[in-house]
Amino acid sequence: MMLTAGTRLALEILGAAIVLGCTGDLLLRAVPRGLNAALAVLLLVGTTALLVRRHAIPTNATTRWLALATLSIGLAFMQRDAEALVQLDLLALFVTLGLAAASLHGWRLTALLPLDALKTLIVGGGATIVGSLLVIGQDVRWEELRQGTRFRRLQPVVLGVLVAAPLLLIFGGLFASADRVFGSALENAFAVDLERVVSHVALITFLTALAAGYWRWSLIARGPTGTTLVSSRSLGIVPVATALALLNLLFLVFVLVQIRYFFGGAALVEGTTGLTYAEYARQGFFQLVTASVLTLPVILGASHAVRHETPRNLGVFRTLAAVLLLLLAVIMIAAFERVRLYVDAYGLSETRLYATAFMILLIWVFGWLAWTTLRGRGERFAFGALLQGFAALAALHALNPDAFIVRANLSRVPEGRPFDTQYALTLGADAVPGLLRALPDLDPDARCLVAAELLDRWSPDHAGDWRTWNAGRARAAALVSAQRPQLEPLSCPVNEKP
């Protein structure tokens, strides 16, 4: 009996998921991420493309673009060694995989409203988690296999194995007791590290289940194309306008206070708060970043709540939202001024750099929000904002954050500002070239510490295997190895490190 197309696809998904699970167990156990992550992504995208081609699953330009974006993110794991950047790459990878699945599922991503896009990712994530069970219990029609010639031929073999299993245990035990050499050989043959086996089985099962669930939602549980998933009910203009008006009032009061402190300068801040200007900036920056982030879902939610209102009511909403964005722009200027003072006093760090980059991204996103949502073209916002996010991530990779932080902090030394050697050594491999160049200009204690740490961290004994290869780590190891004769005389013993 011939298998139906649905059963063949489900079986191929199960087989491919098992292969991906086993390969992922081999690749992803090694940390930190590098070549292994890139190969895993390549395998996932390549297998998906093969399944799509074999079963003539319809695709579009958006699907293909997202596949290329996913591959690019996978290759990014081989470039930089900044831990925070790796986490952002992982987030971007999950987003692109989710949207690619949604595109294969049949949704027009370029026309999804923001809440629709969010719901698509949530639904897709849930479907991925439970999808493997549905593949096994629903999509594979096992009765088709039982009626097939191959399965009927295999049944006697399986039955023979089941009958022989207890007999093998009995006779094997008797022979092992009768002959110590045979017993020792049998024991060595079946000696296993149970904890290690359980660990491998757990990871393989987890990766297999995720892959099978992902492909099921992408390729089997496909729905009709569309652009709207959420309810079409409208909250009404009165509660939305009231809430926005009260928020505008709060933002206005805060802006007036900020303007007073900006014009009053350090003397006013110190006299009013008892803090130095730098401490004042340090305390408030991240709260302002958080407030800026929260403003985005507020405006998007309000826009969704009034999308079916009359043109006059929509005009009221857009006016209030525009005022809120203008006040937010002043608040973001205040946040940038605070981070400038913050960095001037304490130096640049990963948190400050990424928070600043995020604020810059928010400026572009809010500009795009005003250009689309507030002009009645909200269906363009989500995909455009996604493109801006990918552009920001690419810009961070081009900036090379850890190297940039070291350069920025070293530039403060001629001005008499301290260089935090301990913090610089916590950064990734991308910081090593800058530290090596600056070594002659550091004070003796810092020079001793940097030389000792670099020699220890990038010694051949600490090199990872091929799975963790990364361009930044390879470059750092090569530079330290080449300069080892110059570094060893500068290095101090571990117990003498300052």
pLDDT above 50: residue 225: no
More confident residue, 387 or 156: 387
More confident residue, 326 or 110: 326
pLDDT, one tens digit per residue, over 192-210 is 666 777 788 889 999 999 9
- Burial profile 111-148: b = 16 or more Cβ within 10 angstroms, e = fewer: ebbbbbbbebbeebeebbeebbebbeeebbeeebbeee
pLDDT, one tens digit per residue, over 469-494 is 999 999 999 999 999 988 888 777 64
More confident residue, 225 or 329: 329
Q: CB neighbours (10 Å) of residue 421?
A: 20
Section 221-237 average pLDDT:
56
pLDDT above 80: residue 244: yes
Q: What does the alpha-carbon distance between residue 341 and residue 348 come to, in Å, rounded to a whole number?
A: 11
Question: 2 vs 8, 9, 56, CA distance in Å?
Answer: 10, 13, 19
> Using 50, 70 and 90 to split pLDDT, how confident is the model at 155?
low
pLDDT above 80: residue 82: yes
Q: Which residues contact 402 (CB under 8 A, 6 or more apart)?
A: 80, 81, 82, 350, 427, 428, 429, 430, 431
Alpha helices, H only, 274-310: 277-305
More confident residue, 151 or 231: 151
Q: CB neighbours (10 Å) of residue 224?
A: 7
Section 328-346 average pLDDT:
83
Among the listed residues 191, 146, 109, 184, the one whose alpha carbon sits nearest the alpha carbon of residue 382: 109
Amino acid in the structure at residue 448: C
> Using 50, 70 and 90 to split pLDDT, how confident is the model at 261?
low
Phi, psi of 107 (to 5 degrees): -90, 140
Least confident span in 113-122, 233-242, 489-498:
489-498
- What pLDDT does 226 receive? 46
pLDDT above 50: residue 229: no
Is-cis flag, bond preceding 32, omega within 30? Answer: yes
pLDDT, one tens digit per residue, over 434-459 is 999 998 888 888 889 999 999 888 88
Q: What does the alpha-carbon distance between residue 200 and residue 154 come to, in Å, rounded to a whole number?
A: 28
Q: What does the alpha-carbon distance between residue 452 and residue 70 come to, in Å, rounded to a whole number?
A: 39
Average pLDDT, the chain: 83
Among the listed residues 358, 354, 361, 418, the one whose alpha carbon sits nearest the alpha carbon of residue 385: 361
pLDDT above 80: residue 161: no
∠ CA 208-89-281, rounded to 5°: 140
Q: What does the alpha-carbon distance between residue 280 and residue 116 come to, in Å, rounded to a whole number?
A: 40
Extents of the domains making up the chain: 5-144+195-220, 150-191, 237-396, 404-496
Burial class (CB in 10 A: 0-12, 13-18, 19+), 172: middle
Phi, psi of 237 (to 5 degrees): -75, -30
Amino acid in the structure at residue 495: N
What radius of gyration, in Å, describes the C-alpha atoms of the chain? Answer: 30
More confident residue, 113 or 60: 60
Query: Which DSSP letter does residue 428 get?
Result: -
Among the listed residues 317, 386, 384, 329, the one whose alpha carbon sits nearest the alpha carbon of residue 360: 329
Section 117-141 average pLDDT:
80
Q: What does the alpha-carbon distance between residue 46 and residue 43 come to, in Å, rounded to a whole number?
A: 5
- The tokens for 449 are 């510490």
